[in-house]
Every structure is written in C-alpha cells, then in structure tokens.
C-alpha cells in the first residue's frame, strides 16, 4: 500500500475523530510514518481539509444511504479519492481509484464495494453533478462552494455582503506566505535578505511591516540564520500591531496573553533589549517556549509568569507604560494556516467569547499608567469580537480614547485576518 496516501489517511482520520491542529497532527504522522513524499502528503491532507464541505456536497449526491450514517473511515477515504480525481493533476484517475480501493480493503473492508462504486460513478457523472452555484440560499451556496461552516458563512455574509465575503473566503483558502520578523537586535532586513539569497532563498519585503520578510524556500527553520536567532516566524499584521504601540527603550510593557511570544519579542526588539517586558499566559508549557525562543533571539528583558488575564493583579495596577492585550479568539483570520478552524462550531457567533475578551481588556487596562497606551488585538475577522468589544469598553471607560483601529485582511493586504486597536489612557 502506498505509504504517502496511508500517512494522509491517518492524519485526516485523526483530525476527524479528535480536535487536534492539522499542522501538529501532520508533522507527527510524517515523523512516525516516514512517507517518501511528504510534499504529496501535505498537498493531499490540506487539499481535502480545505475542500471538505465541497467534497461532501458532491458525495451527498453519490452515496445512496447519505453521509450521516457513514463511519469516519469510509468517509475519509471517499473524500481523499474524489479530491485526487478532481484536483490532483499529477495523479492518474486509475491510481486515485485503485489506491483508494486498496486502502478500503484494509481499513474498512465492509465498505470496499460501496467506495469502488461511488468513485467509478463519480468518474462517469462528474459533469452532471449539481454544483453549489445552483443553490438559491446564499449561505448554502457559499458554504459548499468555499467549504466554510454555515455559521461563519452567515456571519461574513451579514458583515461584508456577498462580494466581499466571497473574496475573503477565496483568499482564506489560499496557501499562506511564510513570513518572518527580522530580529533587529542581531541583523537588518537587508543583511538577512542578502544572506538568505546566497543560500538560494528568496526574501521579499512586506508592505505592512518594514521588518517582516516573506521567504520562499525549503527547510527554513533548519537554517543557521534561524538557529542564530536572526528571525522568528510572524505574520506582518501581528508585527504591525506592536509597531503601532511604539514601545521605547526603558519602557515597562505587560503582554497579558503572550504565548507563543511573537508580540513580546517585537517589543523587546523595538526597546533595544532595555526596560522590562512581562509576558503572561495561562499555560506553563507555553511560557517555557517563550523563554526558549527569547534565548535564541538574544533577548533578556522578557519575564514570564503564569497569570489568568481575566483576574486583576493588584500589584500591577498603573505600573505599565504600554499593555498588549492579544486575546484568545475564534481565529477566523488564520484559517489559511489552520483550515480546521473553518469547521469549528462556535456558539452565538462568538458573543460568549467577546464577553471574556472584554473582561480581559477591562482587567489589563488597569495596569496602564496615566498617559499610557494599550493595544487590543485578535487574529479574527468578526466585528463582534473586534470593534464591538472596543466600543463596549469605551462606553464604560471614559478615561480612554481611541487612537486608531485597523482590520487587516487576507483579501486586502494579503496578511492573516488581523484586527488591532490602539487606545490611550487619558487619566
Ligand atoms: C492569540 S494567542 C496570543 C499570541 C501572542 N500574543 C503572540 O503574538 O505570539 C492567545 C494566548 O492567550 C492565552 N490565553 C487564553 N486565555 C487566557 C487567560 N485567561 N489568561 C491569560 N492567557 C490566556 C492562550 O494560551 C494563548 O497563548
């Protein structure tokens, strides 16, 4: 049996049964199974994940007893088979069918005949199957066409209208760029660009943040430049939010939801490694990762501590020049990096989460000295978690003033979907 397809199958099956992250699951399976073509495995896994609801829309027309009663094993195999037939030009049709049937014999013998029948039927009838474009209901149409859970589809249609929602969904399905923040404590963007160029790695400047580069090449995290701490992985939107905060040497900054540490690192770097950055999170393991990366980057002003951002630490009241409040969110801005987010059920369009986000903002705002600045940010595209939270905060805190806010978009600036807002504590 083909080891590459088997690795993809194990990854997709585990994703179907658990709520694990695709990148972690895929890397684990590749490490254990050692497929001969990890690139093929990645293409197949991400292709199926990105198109899951569209594939199901077609399968629903082909599986006589419907998909609801189908076990995860034959369901995953059918998605993989149809995906190869439709989207993988490098795979001949006979191989897509035969390899899937071989796997069916091993992993769900009782459904081999059905799987063989469905795939062959698909080959015969693919031109005549109903397509999402023919659905009258826009939620049904967009949800199936772009493979987004109906709750997200409805949310974006309500907030952006059909044209912009469609372009946002299409951009969210593209392969994301690999972007890194240059560690200006050790090098400059131009110096790093030239050094990487000598290794055959192309580096392009970002339009959104002057110290962010997009890299094109393989094994980027195995490079000596990475080990030496010349860069860390970060999206330009994330970097831009800290740049807007303008941390200065000698400042005291509190980063209340800090892991994996990206924004704390930008702060420390802009502060030229002088002053103090307090980086908090609720997970001990994540704090260890911040410390490890800070050492690699040559940063020694970051102090980590376990802390629940919803609860006030009275000893910190009015101690910070700047505060970063990068709250947990629905993550709708990063589906191109984690396609599984497209299928996560979230209650009340994120309103429950927005209560927690407001609580965190309310608590962390107390840490600011008078005249200090706070950044509230999320990696999501959802007014309820973004502008509405800030609006509610300002209603109850007349001592704060909005300086500016920005919603970056994959279909606009080409960054992850990222929101940030800068507020000043007047008195
Ligand atoms: C969006 S991520 C932060 C990303 C980080 N600022 C960066 O730029 O690398 C949100 C973080 O908040 C943490 N978190 C969730 N709930 C929290 C809470 N109540 N208090 C503190 N941290 C929390 C999560 O563990 C997660 O690491």
Write the pLDDT tens digit of every residue in 275-309.
999 999 999 999 999 999 999 999 999 999 999 99
pLDDT band for 21, please (50, 70, 90 cuts).
confident
166 is in an annotated binding site: no
Write out pLDDT tens, residues 135-155.
999 999 999 999 999 999 999
| Contact (Cβ atoms closer than 8 angstroms) between residue 266 and residue 253 | no
237-425: CATH topology is Rossmann fold (3.40.50)
39 is in an annotated binding site: no
3-130: CATH topology is N-utilizing Substance Protein B Homolog; Chain A (1.10.940)
Measured in angstroms, how far is the CA atom of residue 289 from the centroid of ligand 1?
A: 13
414 is in an annotated binding site: no
Give the pLDDT of residue 1: 77
Atom of ligand 1 nearest to the CA of 328: 10
For the chain, give every domain's residue range: 3-130, 138-172, 237-425
Segment 360-385 mean pLDDT: 98
Give the pLDDT of residue 18: 82
379 annotated active-site: yes
Measured in angstroms, how far is the CA atom of residue 328 from the centroid of ligand 1?
A: 5
Distance of CA 23 to the CA centre of its chain: 10
Distance, in Å, from the CA atom of 277 to the CA atom of 253, rounded to the nearest integer, reads: 5
Peptide bond before residue 260 is cis, with ω within 30 degrees of 0 = yes
Question: What is the β-pairing status of strands 320-326 and 302-306?
Answer: unpaired
Write out pLDDT tens, residues 158-191.
999 999 999 999 999 999 999 999 999 999 999 9
Distance, in Å, from the CA atom of 279 to the CA atom of 297, rounded to the nearest integer, reads: 15
Query: How many CB atoms within 10 Å of residue 107?
Result: 19
């Amino acid at each position: 049996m083909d080891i590459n397809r088997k690795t993809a199958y194990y990854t997709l099956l585990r994703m179907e049964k658990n709520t694990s992250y695709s990148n972690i699951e895929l890397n684990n399976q590749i490490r254990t199974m050692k497929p001969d073509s990890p690139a093929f495995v990645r293409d197949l896994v991400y292709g199926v994940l990105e198109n899951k609801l569209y594939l199901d829309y077609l399968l629903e027309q082909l599986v006589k007893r419907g998909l609801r009663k189908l076990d995860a094993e034959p369901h995953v195999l059918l998605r993989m088979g149809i995906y190869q037939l439709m989207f993988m030009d490098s795979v001949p049709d006979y191989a897509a069918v035969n390899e899937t049937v071989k796997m069916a014999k091993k992993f769900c013998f009782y459904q081999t005949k059905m799987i063989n029948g469905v795939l062959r039927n698909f080959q015969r009838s693919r031109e005549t199957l109903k397509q999402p474009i023919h659905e009258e209901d826009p939620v049904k149409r967009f949800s199936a066409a772009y493979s987004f859970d109906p709750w997200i589809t409805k949310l974006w249609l309500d907030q952006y209208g059909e044209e912009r929602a469609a372009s946002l969904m299409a951009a969210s399905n593209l392969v994301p760029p690999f972007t890194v923040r240059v560690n200006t404590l050790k090098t400059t963007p131009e110096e790093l660009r030239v050094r990487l160029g000598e290794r055959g790695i192309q580096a392009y400047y970002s339009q959104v943040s002057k110290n962010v580069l997009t890299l094109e090449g393989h094994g980027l995290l195995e490079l000596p430049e990475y080990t030496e701490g010349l860069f860390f992985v970060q999206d330009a939107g994330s970097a831009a939010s800290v740049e807007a905060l303008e941390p200065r040497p000698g400042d005291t900054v509190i980063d209340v939801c800090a892991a994996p540490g990206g924004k704390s690192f930008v702060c420390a770097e802009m502060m030229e490694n002088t002053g103090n950055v307090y980086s908090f999170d609720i997970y001990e393991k994540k704090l260890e990762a911040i410390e490890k990366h800070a050492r690699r980057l040559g940063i020694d002003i970051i102090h980590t501590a376990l802390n629940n951002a919803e609860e006030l630490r009275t000893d910190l009241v009015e101690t910070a020049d700047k505060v970063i409040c990068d709250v947990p969110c629905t993550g709708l801005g990063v589906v191109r990096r984690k396609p599984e987010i497209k299928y996560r059920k979230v209650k009340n369009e994120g309103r429950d989460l927005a209560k927690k986000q407001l609580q965190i903002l309310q608590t962390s705002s107390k840490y600011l000295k008078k005249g200090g600045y706070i950044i509230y940010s999320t990696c999501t595209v959802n007014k309820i978690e973004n502008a509405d939270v800030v609006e509610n905060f300002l209603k109850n805190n007349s001592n704060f003033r909005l300086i500016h806010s920005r919603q970056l978009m994959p279909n606009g600036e080409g960054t992850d979907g990222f929101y940030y807002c800068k507020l000043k504590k007047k008195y």
